[in-house]
Amino acid sequence: MTVVGLGLCILFLLLSDAAATRQVKGELRRNLFANGIGLTPPMGWNSWNHFQCNIEEKLIRETADAMVSTGLAAVGYQYINLDDCWAELNRDSKGNLVPKSSTFPSGIKALADYVHSKGLKLGIYSDAGTQTCSKTMPGSLGHEEQDAKTFASWGIDYLKYDNCYNTGTSPKERGQEDPATWAPKIGNSWRTTGDIVDNWERRVFGQYSMTSRADENDKWASYAAPGGWNDPDMLEVGNGGMTIEEYRAHFSIWALSKAPLLIGCDIRAMDNITFSLLTNTDVIAVNQDKLGVQGKKVKKDGDLEVWAGPLSNNRKAVVLWNRSPSTATLTAYWSDIGLNPTNVVNAHDLWTHWTQSAVKEKLSAKIESHACKMYVLTLQ
């Protein structure tokens, strides 16, 4: 959702019971890398991109069911995350957040129990201001410890923490600007961009396109590492606003950039193409690689771009991305991607699953408009 205030501060805290206990004691550790969580980017689903405020417990239960039955859980997606609009507008007489009775009549604890019974984890949303961005529920300003206790008692595994209606509190006190520079000390992921919109390049209603989110996130690549990840916002794959090739590029760049892979479509009704994009285990493996180095844009010639990054076992991940309106040939020279000019590699195409052997000096491909090729290069 759109952030209202002086700047951007959306944190994602991946919670364990121990971590939650430390928070409610007012002793939030300064380096959540030590919590042992988020050593690879989180994978799951979030309600906002497709449903926005139209959420209720039946939908969430059915989404958890679909996560398992479709096989998404089997390839690594594990979080089922509620976004804004799950709570009543007013707190109860003790100041506690209350699930909206008309949409979550069984309560969040029962929902968490159901999601956990599926072998999945439940995430929830709150805000550092007086109200959440939708203005439909209270923020946590002045209730931080109380709300942390509430979430812990419900069995919440993941907290998305927004920054609307923050009363203008000093950024120095809140650490509001450029969260990549400070958020690694207090969260496992942080937003580096404004909201994404399901569109290739056009700005819509104050929100921004997929391509612009990729570019903005790229500026912060050096700040990502195991335990803390840059986030250019959730995936739009399957929501219908882009072509198949644009969605393939979207998923490829997010994976290379070590972004959280949070599905934003209705997985209960996704088509086979959407499923095949979201379950490409070769692409997912790049995102989840244990080395944890964010890939980045290493070469740009107009709308022709090369993105690349190192992987474990001395491999390289490479994306050749044609952002132009016509078919073009793209080339990544070894010097562009950090290889020695004498290196000989096997280049495995992650979308066609075909391997070129004994490739020397450069990697070239003819690529359609708005499409990409993604490879893993292994030294011979």
Low-confidence winner among 4-13, 149-158, 361-370 (lowest mean pLDDT): 4-13
Residue range 207-256, pLDDT digits in tens: 789 999 999 999 999 999 999 999 999 999 999 999 999 999 999 999 99
Distances in Å between the Cα of 269 and the Cα atoms of 18, 63, 111, 281, 292 are: 37, 10, 21, 21, 32
Conformational region of residue 344, where left means phi above 0, alpha means psi within -120 to 50, and beta covers everything else: beta
- The C-alpha atoms of residue 237 and residue 249 are separated, in whole angstroms, by 10
14 - beta bridge partners? 158
Residue range 170-215, pLDDT digits in tens: 655 666 678 999 888 889 999 999 999 999 987 776 678 999 999 9
Of 288, 309, 344, the residue at which a domain comes to its end is 288
- The C-alpha atoms of residue 1 and residue 18 are separated, in whole angstroms, by 30
CA 105 to chain CA centroid, Å, is: 29
Residue 30 lies in a domain: no
CA 135 to chain CA centroid, Å, is: 24
Domain total in the chain: 2
Kindly state whether residues 304 and 277 are assigned to the same domain.
Answer: no
Residue 173 lies in a domain: yes
Kindly state whether residues 150 and 249 are assigned to the same domain.
Answer: yes
Residue 26 lies in a domain: no
Tell me what the mean pLDDT of segment 127-151 comes to.
96
Tell me what the mean pLDDT of segment 335-356 comes to.
97
| The residue type at 38 | G
> pLDDT tier at 9 (50, 70, 90 boundaries)?
low
Tell me what the mean pLDDT of segment 80-107 comes to.
98
Residues of the domain holding 372: 296-379
Of 259, 288, 317, the residue at which a domain comes to its end is 288
Does residue 123 carry a pLDDT above 80? yes
- The C-alpha atoms of residue 32 and residue 39 are separated, in whole angstroms, by 10
Positions annotated as catalytic residues are: 162, 195
Distances in Å between the Cα of 368 and the Cα atoms of 33, 153, 252, 296 are: 41, 51, 15, 21
By percentage, how much of the chain surpasses pLDDT 70?
89
- The C-alpha atoms of residue 358 and residue 343 are separated, in whole angstroms, by 9
> pLDDT tier at 22 (50, 70, 90 boundaries)?
very low
Instruction: Write phi, then psi, for 28 (nearest 5 degrees).
Output: -55, 120
Longest dimension (CA), the chain: 71
- The C-alpha atoms of residue 155 and residue 116 are separated, in whole angstroms, by 9
Instruction: Write phi, then psi, for 152 (nearest 5 degrees).
Output: -65, -40
- Average pLDDT across the chain, whole number: 91
Kindly state whether residues 227 and 208 are assigned to the same domain.
Answer: yes
Would you state the pLDDT for residue 173?
A: 65
Would you state the pLDDT for residue 176?
A: 67
